[in-house]
A and B are shown apart, each in its own frame.
Chain A
């Protein structure tokens, strides 16, 4: 427990120091990461804790965003609230729309619920461009941050600290929520809502409340986005945003409180770092998501947990070689996948096809990738990824062998206990 508090405090300090150490561009990326982390944790209240899979959560993000932009433009541009308090507008918007949408959606469960949430988001997406007064049509609405409380909010640093403060406060609120009766009820709904009825609970009403709270925190995230970009556009209601939050949350891990935040921060960061280099970034995200769902449903946080648990049980030095080998294996497979994807993407692109046609039948011009020229039919072009796959497979086998040896040497503790949800957690 102490270790966790220390790590948390350290994390907050690092976040607070970020603008002093990073360039403006990176600080902007950090702002996006923080917003994505909050959105993912807000989503997880509904999805991981209450077990209700929403596929249209961008609606509440977007409603919060537009509520904020209107609040910013109100009173002839002076703003309804001082800038640091603007996210309250987003919170209110998200909360109210969350109540309305939640009332409909939570009438059903499971697949029906998922479809209803998707349809509500699509409804908004379809209507928004028509209601130009509210949503600004194709161009959206823009505004300006007004100075308040001694700061002028002109610089990225000030926006960063505003975002950080709200994200930390919201995450704290979400965490405290898990310690309240409602937070525990959410878990009950996930585990067995049928039984809750027989215990006297109005499950529908409780679900609506949880939905609304999730919408509220999503609205705060949307609001922070608008404060950072100084504009809101109906594109925010797009399914890609809803899809992104689902992917981020599950990649991070739904059973640990900060799992979704971790997933969102990592994926956003990678997106920022890599999206200039490749057109297939979304494909990699999708593949990672599917792999996580199939083989590691507890996500990256669960993976970390497993690693720490194993280190505690067998000793860090014993576990380190296995961990290292797994990382190498994963890296090799990932490299092979990236290589093949990038190669295929270039081979099938329109530019290449015109080049190939110009070169004439049977001639395949070289493909430029990672700073090298690769001939499509050349040996290295196919040996490289094959070698990576084989290397990955060997490392994986070696790692599994190490782990098996460790497990056989310490049979007293039941294998598989590491990584199981302990009762004290939000899981």
Chain B
């Protein structure tokens, strides 16, 4: 059982990290109908800004300032680029965020180089929280989980308990009505976009120290985030949480499984047959771990196209 506990915990924390990034994406889509391809680049920017500021301000100020900077970038993008393309339709908005994601990655390569940078966990957090079995469990992982949960609680309270939250929710469901009532809906959109970006930036600032910080991180996470929102249902925060945890746990657990599908089929006496067929069946589940989220997505699309918690279109 100990063997399961570590991957499970890792999976939950990774899932929470995925949620931090996909929450913003799903909110922005639910509200503005824009699928922001550049969302994962905000995650990357968060990591890089934190890395750059760390030398100047130290770790803790850096991870607070970095998301704020990313939020500003998000607001600028919405105000000066997305709004201009809005009249051409959703396809153009999609393409422009795609182009932006491209440019942001290239700019990062320009300023920081096309290789991973040395953004590391600070000494103050670099200890073992507890021991599980024979392995020490890093405290920083728990830190990441705590930040993610804290963020979720904050956003949830903001949306459901505050006046700002009510305005935002009304703008999600009935933008024209909200505008008729005198609320500045374009500003709300800008704000949501900025906050979404900041959330992704926070995720990056925190995760970048633990995982590798490189220009590739946007792409690697970006695709997973899309899988999360398809599985969870676009526009649904609860769906995003559920799907993130699901994917986090499945991938983490799978990485530890050294058996293959053929071994599983051997339990039914079909082992030799499976081995003869070969191909995917003899691959270890651990090597397939990276492709499991996509397979899950295709499964969900077959069975429940609007996502686990999305509205039926």
Residues of A within 8 A of B (CB): 51, 53, 55, 104, 107-108, 110-112, 114-116, 118-120, 122-123, 126-127, 130-131, 133-134, 239, 243, 246-247, 250, 279-280, 282-283, 285-287, 289-290, 293-294, 297, 341, 344-345, 348-350
Contact = CB atoms under 8 A, between A and B. Distances in A.
A248 to B, nearest CB: 13
- Name, among B35, B102, B103, B295, the residue most crowded by chain A CB atoms within 10 Å (CB to CB): B102
**What are the 9 A-B residue pairs with the smallest beta carbon separation, nearest first?**
A123-B294, A111-B35, A283-B106, A126-B291, A286-B102, A290-B99, A286-B103, A115-B226, A126-B290
B301 interface: yes
Nearest to A108: B305
Interface in B152-193: none
A151 B281 CA distance: 43
Contacts of B259: none
A131 B279 contact: yes
Interface string B93-115: 01110111011001101111110
Contacts of A246: 95, 98
Interface in B228-246: 229-230, 234
Given A127-B280, A250-B95, 4 more contacts: A104-B302, A108-B305, A123-B295, A286-B106
Given A123-B295, A130-B283, A293-B92, A344 B110 contact: yes
A115 B95 CA distance: 12
A287 B100 CA distance: 8
Interface residues of B, number: 47
B305 A287 contact: no
Contacts of A344: 110-111
Interface stretch (B2-10, B82-90, B264-272): B82-90
B279 A112 contact: no
B96 A127 contact: no
Contacts, number: 118
B76 to A, nearest CB: 14
Contacts of A134: 279
A134 B280 CA distance: 11
A254 to B, nearest CB: 10
A247 B107 CA distance: 17
Contact of A348 (B96, B112, B283, B302): B112
Given A107-B305, A294-B85, A349-B113, A127 B99 contact: no
A257 to B, nearest CB: 19
A114 to B, nearest CB: 6
Contacts of B294: 119-120, 122-123, 126
18 contacts: A111-B90, A115-B35, A119-B223, A119-B297, A122-B294, A123-B294, A130-B288, A239-B219, A239-B223, A250-B95, A279-B114, A282-B106, A283-B109, A286-B99, A290-B96, A290-B100, A293-B96, A294-B84
Interface string B274-313: 0000111001000110110011011001100100000000
A350 B81 CA distance: 32
B223 A297 contact: no
Contact of B110 (A239, A297, A345): A345
Contacts of B21: none
A55 B98 contact: yes
B90 A293 contact: no
B95 A118 contact: no
A350 B91 CA distance: 39
A116 B114 CA distance: 28
A114 B223 contact: no
A104 B305 CA distance: 10
Contacts of B301: 104, 107-108, 116
A11 B203 CA distance: 53
B69 to A, nearest CB: 18
A385 to B, nearest CB: 16
B29 interface: yes
